[in-house]
Amino acid sequence: MSEALLVLADGTTFEGEAVGWEPESGVAVGEVVFNTALTGYQEIVTDPSYAGQVITFTYPHVGNYGVNPHDDESRQPACRGVVLRDLARRPSSWRATEDLGGFLRRHRVAGIAGVDTRRLTRHVREVGAMPGAFGAAGEDVLREAAITAPGTEGVDLVASVTTGEPYRVGDPDAPFFVVAYDFGIKATILRHLRAAGCHVEVVPAGTPAADVLAREPDGVFLSNGPGDPAAVAGAAENVRALLGRTPVFGICLGHQILALALGGRTFKLRFGHHGANHPVRRLATGGVEITSQNHNYAVDPDSLGGAVEVTHTNLNDGVCEGIRARDVPAFGVQYHPEAGPGPHDAAYLFGEFTRLMTEPA
C-alpha cells in the first residue's frame, strides 16, 4: 500500500494509505460526508444515494465481516470513494465471499485508510460537507482538485444512477401493482414492496406521468436517490400530475420531490444525515423511532401550505422527517424504513402504502 493524502477544499489535510482501487491519476474527488452506522458498510457503499460523494465511516473498524452478493443495494457503487480508520484484512463471517478491499478494487472505488476519522468527522460537522480529493498524488495536486471540484447543489445526480429501461420484480399475481420511479432505488426497498404484496415495475426517473398512468397502477412509489431534489429534471412536475390520480409514497429523495410537487421547498443541510441511529418522533402517536438516514437535503416545513401536514420530525435537530397530503392519498418520509442497513422501527410504512391502495378513491 502506498502513502496517500486527503485534502479538503478548505485546505485541511489528513494522512493515510491508499486502499481499494487506485486511479492512474492518483486523485479521487467527491463531496466528503460521514456515516455513523456501526455496521452495514456494504449496503452503504452500494447505496446509489451516495453518487458524487466520498463516504467517511466514523466506526473505526470496517470490513470485519467481508462482503457478499446478497447485501448489495445496487449493481455497482455510485460513491466516489471511502475514508476509513482501519480496514480489516481478514474478514470473519460464514456469509462472506470476498473481503472489502477486493470488493472496492473490483468495482473501481478508491479508498484511503489510516485516517483520523474522528478529527475529520468533527471538522465536517463544524464547517459542513465540502469537496475533497484524496490519493497518492502530491498535496498541491490534491488541493487544486478539491478546490475546483463541483459540489452537488444544482446538479442532477439522479441521471447517473437511474435505470435506462423499465423492468419488473415480484409476483405478477400479487395483490398490488406499483410503478416505482427509480431515482436511485435500493434493492432492499424492492424486497419490502414485494413482501407487502406488490408487483413492481421500476421506470426511469424521467418517465412522463401520462406513461405511468397508462400502466394503470394501484400506486406509485418515489424512490431514494442522490443530490439536489430541485435539480432532478421534470420529477416534481410528473409527481404533481399524479397526485389525486393514484396513491403516492416517497422515501428520502422521493419524499423531497413529493414536497416540491405539493408546493414546498427544499434546502441543503450543513452536513446531512447519514447513519442508522437517528431518532425520529411520529407526531400522531408521540412515539420515537430509531431510523436509518442518508440525505444532504431536507424539506422546509415553513414552505408547506395548509394542505400538507408534517408527520415526523428529527429529534436531533428538528428537521422535517415526514409529510402527508390532506386532500389526496400521498405521503413521504425522509428516512429509510427499509433499514438497509438499520433498525426496523418504521417498516410499518409499507403497510400504510398498501392501506392507501385498498381505500376507495
**Which residue numbers are catalytic?**
252, 336, 338
Q: 91-94: which pairs have CB atoms within 8 A and are 24 or more residues apart?
A: 91/63, 91/64, 91/65, 91/66, 91/67, 92/64, 92/65, 92/66, 93/64, 93/65, 93/66
- C-alpha cell read off for 249: 409514497
Q: Give the chain's end-to-end CA distance (angstroms, integer).
A: 61
Number of H helices, E strands in the chain: 9, 19
Cβ(129)–Cβ(35) below 8 Å: no
Beta bridge partners of residue 112, listed in sequence order: 18, 83
Beta bridge partners of residue 56, listed in sequence order: 34, 83
Q: How far is CA 26 from CA 30, 139, 141, 202, in A?
A: 14, 11, 9, 37
Strand ranges for 9-159 from DSSP E:
13-20, 28-35, 53-57, 61-62, 81-83, 86-87, 110-113, 130-135
28-35 and 288-300: which strand pairing? unpaired
